[in-house]
Every structure is written in structure tokens, then in C-alpha cells.
Amino acid sequence: MSTPLPVTDRTRFTRYRERQVTDRPALYDVLDHALVAHVAVVRGEGEQAVAAVLPVASARDGDSLLLHGSTGAGLLRAAAEGRTVTATVTVLDGLVVARTVFDSSMNYRCAVVFGVPVVVADDEKEAALRVLSEHLVPGRWDEVRRPTRRELAATLVLRLPLDEASVKVRADGPDEDEPEDRGVWAGVLPLHTAVGAPRTGDDVPAGVPVPASVPAAADRLASWTPPYR
């Protein structure tokens, strides 16, 4: 059994407490079904403090979340200064269509991770990039050449420990506060990821086949359908 997520001042819900989930597998489930995390870094001081937010490719690696930080100057600074960042991942699972607008809602899985990012060291960078690549397009890593030394040097990967995180899940049908007109339909419109036909790059010569990783990635994404209780 894994240890449950500790509930801290930062992760304790003040509303919808029944949606708070503290088991680690639930956290893994959210992170493993998302391709992008929104990373928020505080910039400025006092009244001027504001959150800068960036979407970055993410992948879970055991008990940490890897973040592809090539665009993340703010992330790098946070890591250097030991400042806490917030990585948020939301999987939207459905529109909950109740008999009233008031009770209408969404089904979703959301994880909010608080932590100090650590820059992945040079000798671990290739392995970390492999985890990211295999999360996004499994199998692609072995179809292409390995990253060069120059490419690795130009890439920033950050590791965020999964020590402090909140997980919120709604995975249910409509639920009205008051009994409503039973002649009105209510239900859920499930949402997941649709994958279109692969679009071959303009400079790919005719006859170069679509590699196995691409339909496999499409099938995997399309299989990420919503959970229901």
C-alpha cells in the first residue's frame, strides 16, 4: 500500500470536501491521463505578486512529475531559488446536464501539485526525456535517433516531487438539491480525447509509411474514456 497524500493547509478543500481524494493511485491516474500541466510561478512581491502560468508537457515518473521546461524561464528561476510552484492537471470527463442550471456541473479529475522543482541533472536528462516522449507517443523513442549532446544541453527538464498534492474528482450523474420535474431529461455527456487521422509533414517524401507508434498513440489516447462511479 502506498502512503496517502497528506492534507496540508494548501491542499485542504474548503468546499466540496466529498470530492477530495487522498489516495496516491488517484493522483497517478490524473497525471497519467494528461499530456500537459499548467505550471504557475509567483512573480513580483507584495500586492504586485501575480501568478505566471505556462502549459508544459508533463509525464509522471514514479513519485515525481517531469516537466518539459524548455520555455520555462520562470520555472528555472523557481528551481534555482527553491521556490514552490504549482502544477495543475485537469482531465475534463463530461458535462453534467441536470434538470436545473444550478445543479448542472462537470465531471473532471483535477490534480494540483505543490513543490519545488529540481533541474534534472545532465546524466539523467536522456532518461527523463525518454519518459516524457514515451508518455506522449509510446514507441517513438526507438523509431528515431537518440538526442545529440547539443540537443540535450538545449533541453531543460524539471522534476517536481509528488509530496504535496490535492486531487479532486467528480465522476457521477446529475444530483439535484431538490426533487425536480421527472419529465425533464438529465444525464451526462461524456467527453474524452478524439484523435484525427495523422497528417503527414509537407517535406516527407511519398511512400514513407506512418510508423507503428503513431496509430498506437492514437489508440491509447482514444481509450482514455471517462471513469464512472
What is the footprint of a second copy within residues 186-215 (CB under 8 A)? 186-205, 208-211, 213-214
Name 14's Cβ contacts closer than 8 Å, sequence gap at least 6: none
Q: Do residues 6 and 23 touch, judged by C-beta distance below 8 A?
A: no
According to DSSP, residue 204 is labeled S
Instruction: Please give the grid coordinates belonging to residue 181.
Output: 420535474
Q: Out of 22, 32, 161, 226, which residue is the one contacting a second copy (CB under 8 A)?
A: 226
By CB under 8 A, the residues from 34 to 63 that bind a second copy are 35-36, 38, 40-43, 45-47, 49-53, 55, 57
Nearer to a second copy, 7 or 50 (CB): 50
Q: Do residues 120 and 128 touch, judged by C-beta distance below 8 A?
A: yes
Nearer to a second copy, 123 or 181 (CB): 181
By CB under 8 A, the residues from 103 to 132 that bind a second copy are 104, 106, 108, 110, 112, 114, 129
Question: Minimum CB separation from a second copy for residue 6, in Å?
Answer: 16
Cα distance between residue 76 and residue 86, in whole Å: 14
Instruction: Please give the grid coordinates belonging to residue 88.
Output: 495543475
Query: How many residues of this chain interact with a second copy, rule: CB under 8 A?
Result: 98
Cα distance between residue 136 and residue 146, in whole Å: 16
Q: Out of 83, 119, 163, 171, which residue is the one contacting a second copy (CB under 8 A)?
A: 83
Question: Minimum CB separation from a second copy for residue 33, in Å?
Answer: 13
Q: Out of 133, 158, 160, 167, which residue is the one contacting a second copy (CB under 8 A)?
A: 133
What mask, x for binding a second copy by CB under 8 A, covers residues 157 to 186? Answer: ----------------xx------xxxxxx
Stretch touching a second copy by CB under 8 A, among 20-28, 58-66, 85-93, 117-125: 85-93
The per-residue DSSP string of 28-81 comes to HHHHHT-SEEEEEEEES-GGG-EEEEEEEEEEEETTEEEEE-TT-HHHHHHHHH
Q: Do residues 51 and 43 touch, judged by C-beta distance below 8 A?
A: yes
Q: Do residues 212 and 139 touch, judged by C-beta distance below 8 A?
A: yes
What mask, x for binding a second copy by CB under 8 A, covers residues 20 to 39? Answer: ---------------xx-x-
Residue with cell string 524539471:
158
Cα distance between residue 176 and residue 42, in whole Å: 38
Question: Minimum CB separation from a second copy for residue 4, in Å?
Answer: 21
